Chains A and B, each alone.
Chain A
Amino acid sequence: MKATVSVRPKPGILDPQGEAVRGSLRHLGFDVTETRVGRLVELELAATDAEAARQEVERMCEQLLANPLIETFDIVIAP
């Protein structure tokens, strides 16, 4: 199975990277009011059951891929 994990800065957490990107986008003439920059993690899993795969990836997120103090994550599982 494949899993795609999106890790995002939590709402309310200052995201200086997003601010810098927003400034550059505005410099290019795009009217952007907010930019948040996160991280995308693509995984290939040995698991064949979608629910088992989801649970496994959740544990990965809790233990390593995201820091719960500052980040949220969501998971998309695909065959």
Chain B
Amino acid sequence: MTTARAPRPKVAVVTFPGSNDDRDAVHALGLLGADGLPVWHADEDLPAVDAVVLPGGFSYGDYLRCGAIARFAPVMEAVARFAADGGPVLGICNGFQVLCEAGLLPGVLRPNASLSFVCRDVPLVVENADTPFTSRCEPGQRLVIPIKHGEGCWTYPEAELTALEAAGQVILRYEHDANPNGSLSNVAGVTNATGNVMGLMPHPEHAVDPLLGSTDGGLILGSLVDAARARMAVAA
């Protein structure tokens, strides 16, 4: 997978007040051959980076709706500019919620249908492997990655879902009988129309070390590192 000699791209990892997976994301990116750069939510600019990760957590206490306040953080304007420029942006869990509220991803995350916080490994199916976030996966590949959330029920106008699916924007689904939160059509991860912004509820950064079970998260984050490295090569 990663070679020691491959150039190490830089990936910004944004910390909002209440983020709690930011250090895990930096650690995982490091294992996968990138340098994770912590970025504070109040920063108005991003450092020179090749990708951005919005990590999991409970930004601003999830007040009002999860992600609704964080989208107004100063750094989010810089993230939106980076995304508009084609830069790869990955939102994990709370990061997914923030990107939806910011209008950078379709849909919105609502409380789990069970109303219970769910914390366990879930089986996923890769629906589209032709993205900067799944290039190390095969179409239809089964991944096992943990989730831990209370508000992961992805919701979208049902009549418009077919168009989203036809455009290849549904990237990950929960396995048929293993939907943990009631999301529409078992959706676990989606991209924007241009394919360079993705959000997912599972936590790939918690599945990169065999000591903790699955290493399937490395396929997602490793794909992102590859995309970041490609962007770095173009910029150079």
Contacts and interface: CB of A to CB of B under 8 A. Distances in A.
A64 interface: yes
Contacts of B168: none
Interface in A51-79: 64-65, 67, 69-70
B27 interface: no
Interface string B49-92: 00000000000000011001000100000000000000000000
B155 A17 contact: no
**Interface size bracket, A side:** 10 to 19
Contacts of A69: 107-108, 155-157
B207 to A, nearest CB: 28
A14 B182 contact: yes
Contacts of B110: 13, 70
Contact of A14 (B101, B113, B157): B113
Interface residues of B, number: 17
A74 to B, nearest CB: 17
B115 interface: yes
B64 A64 contact: yes
B115 A20 contact: yes
A77 to B, nearest CB: 21
Nearest to A67: B108
Interface string A27-67: 00000000000000000000000000000000000001101
Given A69-B108, A70-B108, A13 B155 contact: yes
B141 interface: no
Contacts of A65: 64
Nearest to B155: A70
A16 B155 contact: no
A74 B170 CA distance: 33
B208 to A, nearest CB: 32
Interface string B104-126: 00011011111100000000000
A64 B101 CA distance: 9
A16 B113 CA distance: 6
A64 B71 CA distance: 10
Contacts of B72: 64
Name the residue in A17, A20, A67 with the highest tally of chain B Cβ atoms < 10 Å from its Cβ.
A67
Contacts of A20: 115
A65 B115 CA distance: 22
Interface of B: 64-65, 68, 72, 101, 107-108, 110-115, 155-157, 182
